[in-house]
Amino acid sequence: MIARTWHGVVPAGKADAYHRYLLETGVPDYQRTPGNRGVYIFRRMEGDEVHFLLLTLWDSLDAIRAFAGPDVERAKYYPEDEAFLIELEPTVTHYEVLYPASPR
């Protein structure tokens, strides 16, 4: 199993609206992609900004490609992201999930 993390920062005044936007766009997109095993949204206030961290779990890099396209390291954005995010970070990070053990 592979964990994929994406990070974004929004002004504090837009945090709740951005959370709703994620629930309407990215989360359903993740969930309907074959091979997705879960979506977690984390957020942290830091002064006048709110950091969002999305952690998704996947069966394989091929499953991630079905979601993100051929360059799995590239972040995927949606049309209104620019209206919320302070910057569009270009990449994501992947981790091999070691525990709990992936079924073989």
Q: Give the DSSP letter string of 32-98.
A: TSTTEEEEEEEEEEETTEEEEEEEEEES-HHHHHHHH-S-TTB----TTHHHH-S----B-EEEE--
Report residue 94's pLDDT band, with 50, 70 and 90 as the boundaries. very high
| pLDDT for position 104 | 61
Omega cis (within 30) before 70 = no
Task: Determine the pLDDT at residue 100.
Answer: 81
Across 58-75, average pLDDT = 97
75, 89 contact by CB (below 8 A):
yes
pLDDT band at 40 (very low <50, low <70, confident <90, very high): very high
Mean predicted confidence (pLDDT) in 44-66: 97
Q: Which structural domains are found in the chain, ordered by start? A: 2-96 (3.30.70.100)
Predicted TM-score of the model (pTM) = 0.91
